[in-house]
Amino acid sequence: MEFQGGLAFHHDMNIVTKAKETFSHNNLQEDPLTSIYVHHSPSVDDGGTLFKNFNKQSANVLSLNRFEKRGSLKKVNVNDYGAKRNGDTDDSEAFKKAWDEVCDSGEAILVVPKDNYLLKPIRFSGPCKPNIEVQISGTLEAADDPSDYDEDSRHWLVFDKIKNLYVYGGGTLDGNGKPCKDAPTALTFDSCEDLTVENLNIENAQQIHVSFQDSENVKVSGLNVNAPEDSPNTDGIHVTKTKNIQISDSVIGTGDDCISIVHGSKNVEATNITCGPGHGISIGSLGAGKSKDVVSGIKVNGAKIFGTKNGVRIKTWQGGSGSASDIKFQNIEMNNVTNPIIINQNYCDKKKRPCQKAGSEKSAVEIKNVVYENISGTSASEVAVKFDCSEKFPCQKIKLQNIDLACEGGDDAEALCNNVDKLSYIGHVKPRCSKE
């Protein structure tokens, strides 16, 4: 992702509404996690049912425990700490004071009522005493003066080093989408553990909307993320160096990746995602600047992708190293997507340096064990499936199962596959690679 200048953003939900009307889940099928999550090894082959039921039961227990405890939690209202709540006066200090009270006391809820709050960059830091919740019902708007970001130009709101944090409430975080030199991420969770984030609207970020980094055991659901299609580098949900994260039931439309998964991420699952406009769901980029990047155990199960530049993509830089492995994309509907299925293992930026000639690379991010299953819909280009892999370090063990992609006008689409070792087909697969 390369930063470019931004423009004032305007929110438009019409295309999301249209997508909801266009797509249907009737043809989607569920598949167990066992194929990529090797830590699941029940005594009998239950088809993943035991694991899914355990997850549902665990989630229900956690929700019940939270509901039962909420009545006894101390409520700390930002309005009681001097917030003007008019959307014009800086309320940052009131939020900081309220957070200090919540963090120091534990067993507490930071309450943001249905008012409007103007905020400069804030870092809500831990460690805190146990059982912290943040209930955002109102609208938080980012300060628009570039000088407000002098101390931290890359972040607006940050929660860091907190365990057992629950953030929710149905409110809105408005990143203000105006030009800023280094473009802050709207909402960042850094070094958090046992984190739940749900039912929030995040819009018009100056760069990434929501970032999870160096965190573990994360559940994300019910997010609505929106920015104009021409807004640069506005990834919806960004995952880096994070393990065991579940993203579900979210609608994302931006000017960049709906979901981006990069270095150090492991056991990432995205389910029931609506994506568009934007650049699709991406693993990468990986290996930039000859770095060693590793991701594994990635699963996208149930997505509706429309009007995007890419559908499901794996993108690695020339000259990098490491691996992207044990990846599964399944039960996905494409509508007018330019590159529905794409692997680019030879990415380079011609503006910065010449691209390497094929076969001259000394290293590459290896791509292996990738499954595409139950993917259908339309391509905005003639090539619906494109695997552009390294000549010296080819993609390994790529499986296509039950694929049905055609051009938007109904013509047959093409598949181009270069340097794939052990490419396999199961069931109906259209288009198939002409070069195997």
State the catalytic residues: 279
Cβ atoms of 337 and 375 within 8 Å: the answer is no
Q: What is the DSSP string of 73-104?
A: SEEEEGGGGT---EEEEE-HHHHHHHHHHHHH
Cβ atoms of 256 and 232 within 8 Å: the answer is yes
* Tokens at 18, concatenated: 């249209």
Cα separation, 298 vs 283, in Å, equals: 9
Cα separation, 421 vs 82, in Å, equals: 63
* Tokens at 105, concatenated: 């006391």
Residue for token digits 């400069």? 120
Max alpha carbon distance in the chain (Å)? 67
Cα separation, 218 vs 305, in Å, equals: 24
Which parts of 120-192 are beta strand (E)? 122-125, 132-136, 139-142, 155-160, 165-168, 172-174, 185-190
Neighbours of 245 (CB within 10 A): 22
Which of 244, 116, 231, 102 lies closest to 174, judged by CA?
116
Cα separation, 136 vs 78, in Å, equals: 11
Cβ atoms of 107 and 74 within 8 Å: the answer is yes
SS3 category, 70: helix
Q: What is the DSSP string of 192-216?
A: -EEEEEEEEEEE--SS-SEEEES-E
Residue for token digits 């691209």? 355
* Tokens at 390, concatenated: 């390294």
Cis peptide before 113 (omega within 30 of 0): no
